[in-house]
Amino acid sequence: MVKLISHRGNNNHEYKENTSDAILDSLKYDYIAGVEFDVRITRDNQIVIIHDMTISRASDGNGFVKDMTLKELQKYNFGNKKHKSLISKLSDVLNNINSNKIIMIEIKHESLFNKTIINKIYNIIKKYKYLNIYICSFNHNLIKEFKKKHPKIKAGLNLLISGNIGDTKGITFLCVNYQTSKQKNNRLERFLWTINNQNQFNKVRYYLNDADYIITDKAYKIKDII
């Protein structure tokens, strides 16, 4: 049976995406097999949970994450009016998870290579060997270097389009845009993003394997149609 991954911690709740509350709440539901969220590195080399390069959409502040310290970022509300939230450090969220569900950490990093972010994330996640952590990124050079340095880590490539993705030696899984998902790869686990309604699901339902996962903002709805 196809399993559901909560995209950025989104589900049937009032919490804002990529907040600690959203992530932890999603993990409570039996129909959710795991959560996905995004991380970036701050100016003072802290790993924080946020999707965009800037904080304007995610908070009531402005600026680039890479140009701000953790202390500066923590001045702003990354939640909403009802559920206020400081930006979350990766370590703080992992410390509050007690589950064998998939914890998919997507590294948002635009540079070709950054030794610091690889080392910082590894030094955090190695403390949580009891968690089922997956690491992925659209930055394939970064992921392949991560896997080369830390071969036991479950590491995957995010794909905007299907096609030749080069050497996948050591790669554990693929994250694929659902609109280009007809090309199967039976050797690797596959996560299809982002499917939020019946029409989107219908475009992939006949190409799904039992081992496939669906990444969705609306797991509470998708569970009733798969």
pTM: 0.96
Percent of the chain residues topping a pLDDT of 90: 82
Q: Reduced to 3 states, what is the DSSP secondary structure of residue 76?
A: coil
What pLDDT digit, counting tens, does each position of 69-79 carry? Answer: 999 999 999 99
What is the Cα–Cα distance from 184 to 36, expressed in whole angstroms? 22
What pLDDT digit, counting tens, does each position of 28-84 carry? Answer: 999 999 999 999 999 999 999 999 999 999 999 999 999 999 999 999 999 999 999
What is the Cα–Cα distance from 149 to 118, expressed in whole angstroms? 9
What are phi and psi for residue 180, nearest 5 degrees? -125, 30
Q: Determine the average pLDDT of the residues in 163-172.
A: 73
Q: Is the separation of the CB atoms in 90 and 105 below 8 Å?
A: yes
Which of 63, 61, 65, 96 shows the shortest CA–CA distance to 79?
61
What pLDDT digit, counting tens, does each position of 198-225 carry? Answer: 999 999 998 888 889 999 999 999 999 9
Domain map of the chain by residue range?
A: 3-40+88-222
Domain 3-40+88-222 architecture = Alpha-Beta Barrel (3.20)
What pLDDT digit, counting tens, does each position of 74-95 carry? Answer: 999 999 999 999 999 999 999 9
Q: Determine the average pLDDT of the residues in 143-158.
A: 94
pLDDT band of 162, cuts 50, 70, 90: low
Q: Is the separation of the CB atoms in 181 and 207 below 8 Å?
A: yes
Burial of 70 (0-12, 13-18, 19+ CB in 10 A): middle
What is the Cα–Cα distance from 26 to 71, expressed in whole angstroms? 27
Which of 68, 71, 37, 75 shows the shortest CA–CA distance to 54?
68
The confidence score (pLDDT) of residue 180 equals 82
pLDDT band of 151, cuts 50, 70, 90: very high
